[in-house]
Every structure is written in structure tokens, then in C-alpha cells.
Structure 1
Amino acid sequence: MKLREELSKVNLGNKEEYARIFSKLVKQSKNNKLKFKVGVFDKGKYYLVNEENRGGSYFIHIVPKEVYPLFCKMQKEIPHSPLGFTVLAGKLNNKEVRISCFGVQCNLLGKSLF
């Protein structure tokens, strides 16, 4: 099975919780209240994965622990492209900051922003 197909079959619990975290990070970034540091940060139920150069942008990924192995595979196999739905959430050092929530459907993420 191809990785994107595998991703489309993911059915996470707590999707609404991850969507709220996504919305909060987008708002913090837009208000310049987000500190960016490259790395993987354990946040309990999920990892916050910050990349410095994916497609020429800074990326902040919310990655639920259940799908972290799939995320890592995709990160290696698709090194320069977005790994799912992303939102442009500001700029840092003249580079776009994009936020994604891996494994959560874009319609839920989009709704969380309103």
C-alpha cells in the first residue's frame, strides 16, 4: 500500500482535541507568539515535529503518537513536500511558517480555525 493511501485510512480517536491544538498553534503563529526550535518534542499524546526546510518553509507538525511511525516513513520518502493538509500561519526570518496536523482530516482542521 502506498503511504498516502495508508494515511487516508487512518482513523484517530481524539481528532477534535488535535484540531483544537492545531487552531491554537495557528493563532499563536499569526500573533508572533510561537517560538520555533527545530526538533521533535514529546507532548504526551502527540509529538510536535519542527522542521526547518520542507519545501522552503518552516513546518510545525502535530503528530499523534499512533501515527508517528507512518509520519517518519513519509518524512523520509517525501523529503521536500507537505505530508498532508497545511496552513500558512505566518513568516519567520522571511520564510513561511506552515502548520499541519498529521492524520486528521482537512475538513476538521479547517473548521477549527473558525
Structure 2
Amino acid sequence: MHVGVLEDDLDQQSFIEQCLISADHQVSLFGRASELRRATQETLFDFLIIDWRLPDGCGMDMVGHLRQNDGWLGPILFITASQNEEDVVQALEQGADDFLAKPLRPRELIARVNALGRRAG
């Protein structure tokens, strides 16, 4: 699968990229919401991973924009440092397909990406 990753923390970006590449996924990294927005217009992604806090906006807003304005139908895994139940509920209601709290665990990240990818077809 080709996975677009929106994460502004370079260490987290690298960690996610290494995990996904080890599972034979192609990865495109973005540090700003505006970069991913442009890329989704030009590139076919099978899956998106989006972080909550971004330098140019909120990942939650990005999920809503992709679902409501751009018609994005593919799986979205939302990641954040928050483990607050209200945040989880809000992310899922906004259009995320799954939610993963940091610190990310490599095997769990890969398993969730693979499971969501299977469901999406």
C-alpha cells in the first residue's frame, strides 16, 4: 500500500516510515497539512496516517476536510499523544477509521495499518 503520513515531528516521521517500510509499504511523508492536502490532489494514496497537532492546523480539521470536502474514502489512522476518551471519540466521529495513542508500538502500528487496509479492499 502507498501510505501518506502527516506528522511534523521528524523522529516520529522516521519511526513510522521505518515501521511501514519493514512491512513492505510505500511511504510519503508530510510535515504540514497543506503539503498533504496538495499531495492528495496529485497522488493516489491507499491509506493516510494523520497526527493531531500540526504546525499549520489541526489533524482533526484535516480529517474532516478530507472526508467532507475532498471526498476521501480511504482509511485514515489518527495518531496523537492524547489518550483522553473524548479525543478518541471526536477523532472517530470526525471521520478517522482508527485511533492510536503515542508512544506508537511498531507491531501494533503495522497490524492496524494492515487490518484497515484489508477492510478497505
Note whether the superposition's TM-score is higher than 0.5. no
**TM-score, scaled to structure 1:** 0.30
Structure having the higher strand fraction is: 1
**Structure with the largest fraction of helix:** 2
